[in-house]
Amino acid sequence: MSVAAPTRPGRSHRPAAADLPVPDRGPADRAWDVTVVVVANGLVVLALWIRHGGLGTLHHPGGVLTALGQLTGLYGTFAVLIELLLMSRIGWLERHIGFDRLAVWHRWTGFSAVTLLVAHAGFITLGYAAEGHQSLTRQLGDFITNYPDVLMSIVGLGLFLAVALTSVRAARRRLSRETWYTVHLYAYLAVALSFAHQLAVGSDFSTDALARAWWVALYLAVGGAIVAWRIGRPVVFNLRHRLRIEAVKPEAKGVVSLYITGRHLDRIGAEAGQFFLWRFLAGTGWAKAHPFSLSAAPNDRFLRITVKELGDDTRRIRRLEPGVRVFAEGPYGTFTTKRRTRRRVALIAGGIGITPLRALVGTLPGGPGDVTLLYRTATEGDLAFRAELEKLTKRRGVVLHTLVGTDIGDDRTDQLGIPALRRLVPDIAQRDVYLCGPPAMLDAVGRRLRDLGVPRKHIHFERFDY
């Protein structure tokens, strides 16, 4: 189905330049800022190692292995701190870089940290064994018997490995979100177990008070950020707003909208396109946080989220009753109108990925034809917000194309393939494009958009598989 409101002859509906947001420094610029800070501290780590005679060990028996062990240990623990900081949900960091990008950095920093720590254990054991002219088994026993806190650090390394293995995509698909999240919490225990070992036997910290103070300060800074932003801020937010479910409304087959009310909603500061982590304080729901985007522009009366039944948890959410208390954390995400720099916009949604785009489409400025929405679902019965979207086509002149089908398929035959995109949005290369849907759809459509000439900086996406 395609719907567009007619434009009256002789009248221009183009928005003034002031309607478009003033371009802010993009994620790439903010990423550069973070990179500079990380590299600077990484150089301090190297300088400490050199200052404490690291280069001198290279001439000893097994010295090269020992030096590699020292460096991989230092950088492995440094990477763990970076990994934790990336997911501490610091407001300004998330606001300027984005939850999705931070999650990707967190994932790869975590794998790098575990690789370095495993290498540290191997290189140090090999180096000391070569220097003492003894077997690896005997050297390992010597470490456990005579070196402070080594046994705790071995347990910590095992916990880090468990976290890394459960983060591999093949394992993630087999584990429930709750199991995966619980295993991840053990990373904090692993950090605690390893910390004392670093200070007790780390040659860079055991005899240098200044280096020791700097290292402890890094841990305190990361720990403080986690406590402040992952615990303190959500508690204050929910004490202030006291959210609860006011109504549950069916939207489509297996899809409901939850209308959430509370106090001082006008002070939340959320934007269309953002999401919260939601806990519903009924049954066991309080222990499980779910990321759901706002499906309507935030206002002073309610926040709306829309949920599709995809498993046991979402089935329970669909059955929630009005009056249930809600604990929310956010808002998060940079999938907002602030990323728009072109007058004309195309929005492409797959399935329940319509939720943030439904919120966006009502707030994007523009005249008739400036905003086009492509909305694909598996069946006609899966279409949500049909009446709302049709009202927008009449009131705002939004061009709406609803597409039915599930096959991502060939670029030439898919409903979101290159010929279809050219036909439905002929000037797509001159638009900002917002995408939200399943990962496979995002990957396929993102590649096709680049083939059609849409620059990467004008392709904005939101994944909902985290």
Q: Decide if pLDDT at 172 tops 50.
A: yes
CB atoms under 10 Å from CB of 288, counted, come to: 18
Task: Say which residues have a Cβ less than 8 Å from residue 399's Cβ, sequence separation at least 6.
Answer: 2, 3, 4, 369, 371, 372, 373, 393
Q: Tell me, yes or no, whether 58 and 203 share the same domain.
A: yes
3-state secondary structure of 461: strand
Q: Is 374's pLDDT higher than 80?
A: yes
* CATH of residue 419: 3.40.50.80
As given in the structure block, the two tokens for residue 321 are 């009753």
The continuous run of DSSP H or E covering 195 comes out as helix 177-201
Determine the pLDDT at residue 408: 67
Residue 322 is predicted with a pLDDT of: 94
Whether residue 43 is found in the same domain as residue 182? yes
Exposure pattern of 182-195 as b/e (b: 16+ CB <10 Å)?
ebeebbeebbebbb
Confidence of residue 464 (pLDDT cuts 50, 70, 90): low
Which residue has tokens 């990323």? 339
What integer pLDDT is reported at residue 285 of this predicted model?
Answer: 64
291 φ/ψ angles, rounded to the nearest 5 degrees: -85, 110
pLDDT at 3: 43
pLDDT digit string, tens, across residues 131-157: 888 888 888 888 888 876 788 888 888
**Are 49 and 161 in a shared domain?**
yes
Q: pLDDT at position 465, please?
A: 52
Which of these, 385, 202, 190, 406, lies nearest to 296 by C-alpha position? 385
Using pLDDT thresholds of 50, 70 and 90, give the confidence band for residue 117. Answer: very high
pTM exceeds 0.85 for this model: no
DSSP, collapsed to helix, strand or coil, labels residue 95 as helix
Same domain membership, residue 288 and residue 149 = no
Map residue 369 onto helix, strand or coil: coil
**Average pLDDT for the chain:** 84
> Is 281 part of a structural domain of the chain?
yes
Query: What ranges make up the beta strands (E) of 370-422?
Result: 371-377, 399-404
Q: How far apart are CA 424 and CA 401, in angstroms?
A: 8
Last residue of a domain, one of 199, 232, 265: 232
Distance CA 36, CA 40 (A): 6
Indicate the length of the chain as a whole number: 466
Burial of 233 (0-12, 13-18, 19+ CB in 10 A): middle
The answer to whether residue 158 sits within a structural domain is: yes
Q: For residue range 429-455, what is the model confidence (pLDDT) as tens digits? A: 999 999 998 888 888 899 999 999 999
- Is the pLDDT assigned to residue 24 strictly greater than 60? no
- Tell me, yes or no, whether 133 and 259 share the same domain: no
Could you tell me if residue 289 is inside a domain?
A: yes
Is 10 a domain residue? no
Helix, strand counts (H, E) of the chain: 15, 12
Of residues 33 and 255, the one with the higher pLDDT is 255
Number of domains in the chain: 3
The answer to whether residues 137 and 171 belong to one domain is yes
Q: Is the peptide bond before 365 cis (omega within 30 degrees of 0)?
A: no
Question: Residue 3 falls within a domain, yes or no?
Answer: no
| pLDDT (0 to 100) of residue 334 | 87
Pairing status of strand 399-404 against strand 371-377: parallel
Residue 325, domain extent: 242-332
Q: Higher confidence at residue 64 or residue 169?
A: 64
Name the band, by pLDDT with cuts 50, 70 and 90, for residue 58.
confident
In a domain, 319, yes or no: yes
Model pLDDT, residue 312: 67
Residues 150 and 250 in one domain: no
Q: What DSSP string describes 128-183?
A: HHHHHT--HHHHHHHHHHHSTTHHHHHHHHHHHHHHHHHHSHHHHHHS-HHHHHHH
Give the residue with greater pLDDT, 6 vs 170. 170
Both tokens of 447, joined, read 């590649």
Between residues 100 and 337, the one the model is more confident about: 337
Nearest to 196, CA basis, from 210, 181, 212, 183: 212
Q: How many CA atoms lie within 13 A of 287 on its CB side?
A: 7
At 275, list the tokens. Answer: 């999401």
Q: Could you give the CA distance from residue 289 to residue 287 in angstroms, rounded to a whole number?
A: 7
Other Cβ atoms less than 10 A from the Cβ of 336: the count is 21
If you ran DSSP here, which 8-state letter would residue 431 be given?
S
> Do residue 61 and residue 77 come from a single domain?
yes
Which position has the higher pLDDT, 183 or 451? 451
Question: Quick count: other Cβ atoms within 10 Å of Cβ 203?
Answer: 15
- Signed CA dihedral, 299, 300, 302, 305: sign only: positive
Residue with tokens 């692993």: 190
| CATH value at residue 285 | 2.40.30.10
Q: What is the widest separation between alpha-carbon atoms in the chain?
A: 91
Both 169 and 185 in one domain: the answer is yes
The mean-pLDDT minimum among 135-139, 154-158, 182-186, 243-247 falls in 182-186
Average pLDDT of the segment spanning 354-380: 90
Q: What is the pLDDT of residues 202-222, one digit of tens each?
A: 666 777 788 888 889 999 999
Report whether pLDDT(78) > 90: yes
Give me 353's structure tokens.
Answer: 């990925």
Same domain, 132 and 204: yes
Question: What is the average pLDDT across 160-188?
Answer: 81
Give Cα separations from 416 to 100, 224, 376, 426, 452 (angstroms).
Answer: 23, 46, 8, 13, 12
Is residue 252 one of the residues assigned to a domain?
yes
Identify the three-state secondary structure at position 398.
coil
User: Beta strand pairing status for 432-437 and 399-404?
Assistant: unpaired
DSSP 374: E
Residue 228 domain flag: yes
**pLDDT over 50 at 41, yes or no:** yes
228 and 84 assigned to the same domain: yes
Q: Which of 332, 351, 378 represents a domain boundary (last residue)? A: 332
Residue 417 DSSP symbol: S
Of 311, 332, 353, the last residue of a domain is: 332
Secondary structure class of 84 (helix, strand, coil): helix
Split at pLDDT 50, 70, 90, the class of 284 is: low
- The model's confidence at residue 6, banded by pLDDT at 50, 70 and 90, is very low
**Domain match, 322 and 341 both:** no
Q: Per-residue pLDDT for 181 more than 50?
A: yes
For residue 33, the one-letter residue type is D
